[in-house]
A and B are shown apart, each in its own frame.
Chain A
Amino acid sequence: MTGAFPSPYGGQVPVLRIGDVLLVTLQGDLHDGTAEQLQQDVSEAAADSRVKGVVIDLSGVEMVDSFLGRVLSDIAAKTRLLAAETVVAGMRPAVAITLVELGLTLPGLRTALSSDEALRLLGEASISPRHGRTRQESP
């Protein structure tokens, strides 16, 4: 159905900066090299202080294998060291099912339905402890 469209992405994935959040939109089929380059780019950009969150939009990605899964985990781990939080947004159902079947549940990653939602999540977390809406509830 979508087979014809994604062309191999040989170049670089742009890392956009919106306020204090980095937004990365992945599209199509990524080279391993491109993914590694991205990991480096995000780490560098996040090293710049004031960045408090990274949003990786996966809604245009048709497949995540263990390699890309590792890249995502690594980005999250590195940015966490820099006091920023990474949110993976918009993962497709088929991709999610496959990842789980593969044995990768990426426990350290925060997730959101869309990048809008991810931005909201990051905004909420920092601005308003007053709001008191903890995500954990005792059962």
Chain B
Amino acid sequence: MPEQEAAGHQETPAQEVGDFLRRRREQIAQRWADAALFRTVFTVSREEAVEAGRAVVEALAAVAAAERVEEQEADGFAVVREQLARMAASRSRAGSTNSQISAEVDALRPAVVDLLVAELADQPAEHVRESTTALTVLMGTLRLVVLETLLSAGQELINRQHLQLLEVATPVIKLWEGIVAVPLIGTLDSARSQVVMETLLDSIVEQHARFAILDITGVPTVDSLVAQHLMKTVAAARLMGAECIVSGIRPAIAQTIVHLGIDLGSVKTRASLADALGYALRQQGAHIVPQEPHDAGSR
């Protein structure tokens, strides 16, 4: 049996797969256009699906030619990564789970492998095995690339939701004309303190509030970074022309603040939200008098 090669020169299996993909690009793209992944994403026209398929085949060919079939970071993928991300995102929005999408990518494989096997029909078995293995590995890498885009999109979503959660968790309440309050509940980290600060200051403008109350009754611990954020918020509110009162500093937190060596001297504090509201009302000129019992005068 002659040890001959398709084109006569010595090619690695990966390079051979690269040549094959390039040669059969059109054919593969046509087949893929009918596969679930392409068909369901590119619904406008079949030509659009074929076009997308061509781009992917082209990228795979480049990766194979560079003999980097196992590397997700191969340069060839860079060109189509965004397109793959869009396709994956589109399937994801349509309700497919990650493993379903992964299976759809995997479903692209048989069409290509069959073509390769058919082309290598008269080659020695060993050769066929090597080439198909290279192609299979390459298709596996493609699947990983798609999955990776899905996961990073997921991470982005989580980040976005985290941010939304921060905003939801920071309601600003108008207590009285010119008095707003933010009751903080749960652990304050630096990111949340930042959101609290911005939300409170914005509400000072919106509500034209001369008094802003930061109630930290529901905050279990305060570290030095958070304490600094509180002080910055108070200072910024003052620059805007509002007075910021911190209420509900529990004894344990007061202790921590002292231990941290933070001077809250410039910050107006009150034991409770009610005390803070009372203070703000009096500052606005309101008189708070307990209602007299009805029968007080008739006796």
Residues of A within 8 A of B (CB): 88-93, 95-97, 99-101, 105-106, 109, 111-114, 117-118, 133, 135, 137, 139
Contacts and interface: CB of A to CB of B under 8 A. Distances in A.
B20 interface: no
Contact of A93 (B198, B238, B268, B283): B198
Contacts of B241: 88-91, 111-114, 117-118
26 contacts: A91-B240, A92-B205, A92-B240, A93-B201, A93-B204, A93-B236, A96-B236, A97-B197, A97-B198, A100-B232, A105-B239, A106-B239, A111-B238, A111-B240, A113-B205, A113-B209, A113-B241, A113-B242, A114-B208, A114-B241, A117-B210, A117-B241, A133-B283, A133-B285, A139-B269, A139-B270
Contact of B239 (A96, A117, A118, A137): A96
Interface of B: 197-198, 201-202, 204-205, 208-210, 232, 235-242, 268-270, 279, 282-283, 285
Contacts of A89: 241
Contacts of B237: 96
A93 B200 CA distance: 9
A99 B210 contact: no
A93 B269 CA distance: 22
A137 B283 contact: yes
Nearest to A133: B285
A23 to B, nearest CB: 15
B210 A97 contact: no
A93 B232 CA distance: 12
A71 B36 CA distance: 67
A105 B282 contact: no
B240 A96 contact: yes
Given A93-B204, A113-B210, A117-B210, 17 more contacts: A92-B240, A93-B236, A93-B240, A95-B239, A96-B239, A96-B240, A100-B235, A101-B232, A106-B239, A109-B239, A111-B239, A113-B205, A113-B240, A113-B241, A114-B241, A133-B283, A139-B269
Contacts of B268: 139
A95, A113, A135 interface centre (most CB from chain B within 10 Å) = A113
Given A113-B208, A113-B210, A139-B269, A91 B239 contact: yes
